Chains A and B, each alone.
Chain A
């Protein structure tokens, strides 16, 4: 059914500093689906996630992206967030001087303002923070820490999933969320993503390796190579890639 479609990418081409990275990507994602995008380094996986989130340094030269019936490419990064898109960064950015509490309060209230809602009361906000931090096993004292400053790799990724839980997006894009994680952190992060998933939502899991997909099981697997999706299949493709490598696809 057409109205099941959350995201529709057609003929997407994108460049950074005049170098074309995406060379015609088509991708349709329906409600309830988890898609894995796999591929070798330099294939354009992170570019795809950056373009979806609206990173200004990337230029879309051709194609369309429709998200819940809206023209995504006409929207600013913050408008995309309000519309329900969330990008979990491969390298979460450190923001010296801004505490997680202040950061999330600004973000949550910006989302609410986007929906015409009043700012959350201080007590309700702190309760929500505590609940979501516990959800990814972040210690309460992290609320007072500066965003990602001095965090270990695992702490940064848990902080990403914590923010995802706070903002409750319709489409989550997880860019190499498994990189730099030990197995315990990987499990916490994956459990978080799975618990947030509902039949109304969707996720794109971008990864180089099978590892994360043992925990977050995809419905559809795509292989991105040299800026194009060269193969699409069910989850069985993951094992095939692991066995044969990307070169023999």
Chain B
């Protein structure tokens, strides 16, 4: 079962060991108005362990969001996937730090990490530092990070179909974080959280 965490103000420290053949799924959600410092250590300690960590953050004011993930592959044949997507508006500041550490005998590791960000304002700041530390030689690992703006070609296309600029931006931002939210298993919970994000995003767009 996927664990869904609505992150509150302040520090969040979590350390998780995933045993042989077990799987951990986690969705971290940071709503507008929340400033937090998340430190997550995931250790794959038994063969065949799997960890999937997803995160979405939306900032529209003066939030400070810090996320640090260390993903340890200690033994062979483990899989991990991380996907973090976020939107930074206002004068918010986002720091993302993610590291995949593959031990020397952790052969046949598959580990992926992605962090994608949209900057809404000139005042907002995003720093992203994806890292790989690989000591094994038979592994599939990748990481990627992007920081971009809302695409104006998409906006014009939508507006030419009668979708208002405000609705176009809301649609772009919701669809941007949707790949994270879709990992929330429970249908009702997913719909409620998606609606909360949509309302929050609409409020941010109104202030742009």
Interface residues of A (CB under 8 A from B): 53-57, 76-78, 80-82, 86-87, 89, 92-93, 95-98, 102-104, 106-107, 110-111, 114, 163, 167
Question: Can you sample 10 A-B contacts with CB below 8 Å?
Answer: A53-B156, A57-B152, A87-B160, A92-B157, A93-B153, A106-B167, A107-B161, A111-B162, A114-B162, A167-B162
Residue of A nearest to B159 (CB): A77
Residues of A within 8 A of B165 (CB): 76, 78
Residue of B nearest to A112 (CB): B162
A96-B175, A97-B175 known; A107-B162 Cβ under 8 A: yes
Q: Is B171 an interface residue (CB 8 A)?
A: yes
| Interface residues in B147-181 (C-beta closer than 8 Å to A) | 152-154, 156-165, 167, 171-172, 174-176, 178-179
Residue of B nearest to A81 (CB): B162
- Selected from B154, B160, B176, the residue in CB contact (under 8 A) with A53 is B160
A55-B156, A103-B158 known; A78-B175 Cβ under 8 A: no
Residues of B within 8 A of A106 (CB): 158, 163, 167, 171
Instruction: Give the size category of B's interface with A.
Output: 20 to 34
Cα distance A81–B14 when bound, in Å? 51
Interface residues of B (CB under 8 A from A): 152-154, 156-165, 167, 171-172, 174-176, 178-179
Residues of B within 8 A of A95 (CB): 154, 157-158, 172, 175
- In the complex, what's the smallest C-beta–C-beta distance from B173 to chain A, in angstroms? 10
Cα distance A114–B165 when bound, in Å? 14
Most chain A C-beta atoms within 10 Å of own C-beta, residue among B152, B164, B172: B164
- In the complex, what's the smallest C-beta–C-beta distance from A46 to chain B, in angstroms? 13
- In the complex, what's the smallest C-beta–C-beta distance from A73 to chain B, in angstroms? 15
Q: Count of A-B contacts with CB under 8 A? A: 73
Residues of A within 8 A of B175 (CB): 95-98
- In the complex, what's the smallest C-beta–C-beta distance from B15 to chain A, in angstroms? 33
Most chain B C-beta atoms within 10 Å of own C-beta, residue among A76, A92, A97: A97
Q: Contact at B162–A97, with CB atoms within 8 Å?
A: no
Residues of A within 8 A of B171 (CB): 98, 102-103, 106
- In the complex, what's the smallest C-beta–C-beta distance from B160 to chain A, in angstroms? 5
Residues of B within 8 A of A93 (CB): 153-154, 156-157
Residues of A within 8 A of B152 (CB): 56-57
Cα distance A248–B175 when bound, in Å? 50
Q: Contact at A81–B157, with CB atoms within 8 Å?
A: no
Most chain B C-beta atoms within 10 Å of own C-beta, residue among A80, A103, A167: A103
Residue of A nearest to B174 (CB): A97
- In the complex, what's the smallest C-beta–C-beta distance from B133 to chain A, in angstroms? 31
Residues of A within 8 A of B163 (CB): 78, 103, 106-107, 110
Residues of A within 8 A of B164 (CB): 78, 110
Q: Contact at A167–B161, with CB atoms within 8 Å?
A: yes
- Selected from A92, A96, A110, the residue in CB contact (under 8 A) with B162 is A110
Q: Contact at B159–A78, with CB atoms within 8 Å?
A: yes
Cα distance A80–B163 when bound, in Å? 11
Cα distance A38–B153 when bound, in Å? 25
Cα distance A107–B179 when bound, in Å? 23
- In the complex, what's the smallest C-beta–C-beta distance from A83 to chain B, in angstroms? 10
- In the complex, what's the smallest C-beta–C-beta distance from A191 to chain B, in angstroms? 22
Q: Contact at A77–B167, with CB atoms within 8 Å?
A: no
Cα distance A89–B178 when bound, in Å? 27
Residues of B within 8 A of A76 (CB): 159, 165
Residues of A within 8 A of B158 (CB): 95, 103, 106-107
Q: Contact at A97–B156, with CB atoms within 8 Å?
A: no
Cα distance A40–B167 when bound, in Å? 37
Cα distance A55–B153 when bound, in Å? 9
Q: Contact at B176–A56, with CB atoms within 8 Å?
A: no
- In the complex, what's the smallest C-beta–C-beta distance from A246 to chain B, in angstroms? 28
- In the complex, what's the smallest C-beta–C-beta distance from A161 to chain B, in angstroms? 13
Most chain B C-beta atoms within 10 Å of own C-beta, residue among A77, A93, A111: A77
Residues of A within 8 A of B157 (CB): 89, 92-93, 95
